[in-house]
Structure 1
Amino acid sequence: MRTGIINATLAFLCWGSFPLYFHALNNVPPGQILAHRVLWSLLFLVIVLTARRQWKWLPAVLRQPRVIGSFVASALLLSGNWLVYIWAVNNGHVIEGSLGYFINPLVNIMFGYLLLKERLRVGQWAAIALAALGVAWLTWQAGTVPWIALILAATFGAYGLMRKTAALGALEGLAFETMVLFPLALGYVIWLTVHGENAFINSPADSTRWLLAAAGPITAIPLLLFAAGARKIPLAVLGMLQYISPTIQFLLGVWLFHEAFTAERLVGFVLIWAALALYAAEGLWRSRT
């Protein structure tokens, strides 16, 4: 139990610190960061799988078109989520990005209701209503829908829904998803190189190259920690720990990147935080009873 909590906490701390990493690469276009993240992640995962002699799953998967199709879809959702988040961080929207991951659990509940025909309890309906009120308030105050947060929540929620019933575990699944994205990422990087726009080659700073290459372990290590922790702790505890990540992102956006956060905007966030508190309290009460 203690080891599981430590592993999961470390994973969420890493994910919460992602804005620092992507902000350090703000001189590189988001599409290039995404492509390098795919390439270096695959290289790192191949090394890990080889060291663990964990390749027996691949031939079986390649003989199942339906499984391949499901991982193509999940890979596209994951890459879309990554691209939007990278763009958000590098364009001064860290706070709105954190909002997406705050409301993600409530989006998961709605997906379960709409797609899996799961019954919602009264407390869950109330939490969803509060969150919807918060999003409506933020939309009215800003004069525009918080589309970054909604896209992040929807894509990650849909990705989680697909991975919930996936045929592969966390490590193998991420490896196969990066294999699916590899041809696109490699083709894009080759095109950039031919046109003299590859930041990895053309950047005058060695730090940029090291940061791009570090995308592999930075992507995979938190996932491995999360997978190790999730097997050892109750789902209710894991659900509480997941708020570490968006909380860190929110604090970074306010205190480090000095993004605008008015009192009117705070009202919307308070409504969403109240919805999450209600959702967590209802879940804890339900698990006890």
Structure 2
Amino acid sequence: MKKEIQQSESRGKYFLAAFLAPLIWGFMSIAIRWVRDYPAEDILYYRILTALIILWSFILIFRRSVLQTDILHYQSLQPTEKRKVIWLTLLASVLILGNWFTYIYAVNHISIQSAAFAYLICPLLTAISAYIILKEQLSTIKKVALLFAMISVGMLASGSILEVIWSISIGLLYALYLIIQRVAQGFDKLNVLAVQLFICALFVIPKLIFNHNSIPDSPTFWITILIIAVLFTIIPLYLSMYALTKISSTTTGVLLYINPLIAFTLAVFYFKETVDPHKYIAYAIIVLAIILFNWQTIKRLSKK
């Protein structure tokens, strides 16, 4: 019993990190809407470059020894392991780049509800993918929770086909990203994120050079980009990656439901989007699914 409590306490901070990441992301639509008059690709490009500069500056000033340790660790790997790390990092970078672009475009040009719907689908895709690819086991109560979640998603999918397509794209990209982060272990998560941002920058810099749009000169744009880069990119991504060192991809994925619940609330009460009555029932079912899926973890943390 004492050992179980100690394990629960040691996992508590990882569970908290997994909880905080989607909580922060839930409010991201507010910042994205501040710059809705700018092309989605420009928002994406400057978000990546700003986050890249800030994160690498922080690492080189305050965490150089940690970076050196990771470099030595990579050099000590066998050639096959090195290739695996390279390919997983490249794939993760492409997936998160695609997720960011589709999310920004959906929020500003489709609807905030479509972005929220994406992160309703994402945990289902993450849990199922982890079950198939990583062989992560699901208890009976978790399977019941996923069944409830699937019923809810089916209810929400009865709306616009266009919104559903965008939502599936956003959710699938991030679900696969989570799976890769769970597989790719052994390196400091902040350094991993910095490398992923660097790879993303390699994709966007050529497009930015040949971009026909002029560089924005509005202070509001750059302040918003700074907020998006730090508060809605570096911090939650690091929290998510940190949580995956001890928390399963399935649990992390289901906690993502916090994101759409907040986004849905903002869409209704802040952005005044019209919501069909049946969607309220669907979101209530998802709340029940979240509680069921994490019931054992909630019980352990409540004891702490």
Q: TM-score, normalised by structure 2?
A: 0.78
Does the 8 A contact of 1:124 with 1:279 survive in 2? yes
Paired position in structure 1 for 2:25: 15
Does the 8 A contact of 1:92 with 1:259 survive in 2? no
Shift of the 235–31 alpha-carbon distance from structure 1 to 2, 3 Å rule, reads closer
Paired position in structure 2 for 1:275: 289
Does the 8 A contact of 2:124 with 2:253 survive in 1? no
Deviations 1:87-134 (A, max 9, x none): 121125222322332443332221122212334332222222222222
Q: Distance in 2 between matches of 1:227 and 1:272?
A: 24
Does the 8 A contact of 1:16 with 1:247 survive in 2? yes
Does the 8 A contact of 2:118 with 2:171 survive in 1? yes
1:153 aligns with 2:153: no
Paired position in structure 2 for 1:99: 117
Aligned partner (choices 37, 41, 48) of residue 27 of structure 1: 37
Paired position in structure 2 for 1:172: 191
Q: Distance in 2 between matches of 1:117 and 1:231?
A: 16
**What SS does structure 1 have at the residue aligned with 2:293?**
helix
Deviations 1:155-202 (A, max 9, x none): 21111110012143321111111111112211111111xx3x13xx24
Shift of the 110–7 alpha-carbon distance from structure 1 to 2, 3 Å rule, reads closer
After the TM superposition, which of the residue ranges 130-139 and 81-90 deviates more from structure 2? 130-139
Paired position in structure 2 for 1:76: 94
Shift of the 59–226 alpha-carbon distance from structure 1 to 2, 3 Å rule, reads same
Write the letter of the residue equivalent to 1:274.
L
Paired position in structure 2 for 1:258: 272
Q: Distance in 2 between matches of 1:112 and 1:235?
A: 6
Displacement of 1:66 in angstroms is: 2.3
Shift of the 11–161 alpha-carbon distance from structure 1 to 2, 3 Å rule, reads closer
Q: Distance in 1 between matches of 2:181 and 2:198?
A: 16
Q: Distance in 2 between matches of 1:126 and 1:265?
A: 20
Query: What are the ranges of 5 or more consecutive residues in structure 2 without an aligned counterpart?
Result: 1-8
**What SS does structure 2 have at the residue aligned with 1:117?**
coil
Shift of the 262–17 alpha-carbon distance from structure 1 to 2, 3 Å rule, reads same
Q: Distance in 2 between matches of 1:18 and 1:156?
A: 16
Aligned partner (choices 185, 188, 213) of residue 207 of structure 2: 188
Displacement of 1:137 in angstroms is: 2.5
Write the letter of the residue equivalent to 1:155.
L
Does the 8 A contact of 2:182 with 2:248 survive in 1? no
After the TM superposition, which of the residue ranges 265-274 and 153-162 deviates more from structure 2? 265-274
Shift of the 213–145 alpha-carbon distance from structure 1 to 2, 3 Å rule, reads closer
Q: Percent identity?
A: 24
Displacement of 1:15 in angstroms is: 1.9
Does the 8 A contact of 2:44 with 2:100 survive in 1? yes
